[in-house]
Structure 1
């Protein structure tokens, strides 16, 4: 069986994952790893074929040869006596936008696997390889997410800090000038009070000059005349009485 799988990552990144048996085990769908010893991976592998699921218990071995990666293994049915043997090679090749895995493999078995025709078994194998390629791409995405962001260079950060300090200094200087130009609160209040009083005096002050009103006659002048005329009249009357009496006596 031949099959191709596309992985949207550079061939170098794909090779790094395929060279690590532990990472390859994480990418094999349905594999529950028990333990690993070098390139050997032992555990349980669940394979879905047709409308059924078969679980095998066995071991996988990963080796690199002439730029390709070979995966071989054998297993026994967890609930039965059937067996399976796997031999698969994958060659990573660079292509636009990523890496192509050219896979070539054979699968043989007895037991429940032998109950299915070759076409059904081949379809299950292709689906397994496609899921492996998707898991491999996800593994590489996690590698990218784990890379920390580069910190800004020190001169750039220092320049930004200096610019911020200068901006703060300019802002403080502007505020200080604004405070110096503004009058104190008491002076401003007094100025507003003086302006208000001047306006009131101007509004209520009578006109002057040729438009000035004629003053009303003073009522205190007559009273003042009566105050000094009454005693004078009394004295004149008394003097007249005395003169009259003297004339009568002479007669």
Structure 2
């Protein structure tokens, strides 16, 4: 019960990673504010995780709408005064070629992946400062921040910017003892909106050096570490939890061969 009595805000809580993150903190005794644009799915998460509906906050947040984000912050202030932990998990990963993407789609990707974490971090940090709370913010990025992907340049660029923003927030919030860090989760089946075929998942698994996809405890455990007292001297860090995928990929069966042999 490492986080017993602490309050945690999780955005994108109805998605795969969001549910895993919420479940981890709930098991560790935290009270949760679950944010997602899909209100019905939030109630499903509350039921699935057997959360207390009396103490669990839910908010249908439209992350491209600044007023909706301010409303989320107002709910947190009303019920908790301030959060202890904020996890900006929500994100968009659409596929658009740079010659085909229109301005509205570009703006929506950056609105959800960059502007929303900025606004949420700013508003929640203001609450923490007003309450004298030494909080923690974790922004969820991706290995795409390090390497461009064909057809996903807008996504990659937004995640690179998010990591720079996180370092800036860490610098400016340090005097208030509010720590800001980044986690880059690895590939997880079903983590995208689109359905992933078994063949695609197997091909991706073979490219990951540790030979498996991300499980329900991998990224959440790393996030929890960064929010815990164990990481009290860690801020502005980027932690890859991807089975080594960010350092390079290979096809299984290629290791151990003598150079020059078939």
- Indicate the TM-score class for this superposition, using the shorter chain for normalisation: under 0.3
Please identify the structure whose Cα radius of gyration is greater: 1
Q: Which has the higher strand share?
A: 1
